[in-house]
Amino acid sequence: MKISVLTLFPHMFAGPMGESIIGRAVDNNLLELNLMNIRDYTKNKHKKVDDYPYGGGAGMVMQADPIFNALESIDTKNSRIIYMTPKGKVFNQDLAIEFSKEEHLVFLCGHYEGVDQRVIDHWVTDEVSIGDYVLTGGELPAMVMIDSIARMIPGVLGQKVSYMDESIYSGLLEYPHYTRPSEYRGMLVPEVLLSGNHKKIEQWRMDKSLEITREKRPDLYKKYKKL
Ligand code: ADE
């Protein structure tokens, strides 16, 4: 999969997208990350990318021309063009799975008061929010989405780790995990996990998942019970 990111702050992506699982996905060519600095697509001497809003008001608006130029410089025929905004539909695991099946995703990161509406009207296929709170720009939401989308690409998670077993995907929250030592400062690992009895362990994990979901996310629990 290819992911293009249009941003005024490409350096923000270098650390988070260069480490651990996502960094490895890039190194192994499972994910191609194309960071594009919108400022490189200005045609004015001062590389200006924003201006005051028509009609007045606080803040600056990102101008259409550099963004149009940037988008016209790449192939977007078969691309989803995603604009991160609190006005968008709220991101979730189903949307991560849907996006992970695409060939090319383009993330347009707004900053300041956002981008000229004509960019959205002309180019954007999906407006997405990562939750009901307001951030200073679309870069962090883009990274959150890229992380959750990239891990769904076949081969990105190790063979042994399957997202199908885990929290949310299954409709339940995950059971607790423990590792060595079996006793730490007087606190013990549940006996059943040391038993070697896989059937019993599976049953315990399922019971815990149900219990935790009922307690912490009654909304998910109700949905699961109705399935
Ligand atoms: N830009 C600013 N706040 C945002 C949010 N909550 N989700 C997506 N994009 C944003």
Domain residue extents for the chain: 2-150, 166-226
* Among protein residues, the one whose CA lies closest to atom 10 of ligand 1: 85
134 in a labelled binding site: yes
Report the separation in Å between the CA atom of 127 and the middle of ligand 1, taken as the mean of its atom positions.
10
DSSP secondary structure letters along 175-220: PP---S-SEETTEEPPGGGGS--HHHHHHHHHHHHHHHHHHH-HHH
Confidence of residue 20 (pLDDT cuts 50, 70, 90): very high
- Per-residue model confidence as pLDDT tens digits over 89-129: 999 999 999 999 999 999 999 988 899 999 999 999 999 99
Q: Are 212 and 198 in contact (CB under 8 A)?
A: no
Query: Under CATH, which number does the domain 2-150 receive?
Result: 3.40.1280.10
| DSSP reduced 3-state for 84 | strand
- Per-residue model confidence as pLDDT tens digits over 162-195: 666 677 778 999 999 999 999 999 999 999 999 9
DSSP state of 4: E
94 in a labelled binding site: no
pTM for this predicted structure: 0.93
Could you identify the atom of ligand 1 that is nearest to the CA of residue 114?
1
**Angle at alpha carbon of residue 37, lines to 31 and 43, rounded to 5°:** 140
The reply to whether omega before 181 is within 30° of 0 (cis) is yes
What per-residue confidence (pLDDT) applies to 31? 97
Q: State the greatest distance between any 2 C-alpha atoms of the chain, in Å, as a whole number.
A: 71
85 lines ligand 1 (CB under 6 A): yes
169 in a labelled binding site: no
| Nearest alpha-carbon partner for 39 in 63, 14, 75 | 63
What per-residue confidence (pLDDT) applies to 8? 97
What per-residue confidence (pLDDT) applies to 162? 63
Dihedral over Cα of 136, 142, 145, 151: its sign: negative
Report the separation in Å between the CA atom of 90 and the middle of ligand 1, taken as the mean of its atom positions.
10
Instruction: Give me the interface pTM, i.e. the ipTM.
Output: 0.97
- Per-residue model confidence as pLDDT tens digits over 23-68: 999 999 999 999 999 999 999 999 999 999 999 999 999 999 999 9
What per-residue confidence (pLDDT) applies to 164? 64
114 lines ligand 1 (CB under 6 A): no
CATH architecture designation of domain 166-226: Orthogonal Bundle (1.10)
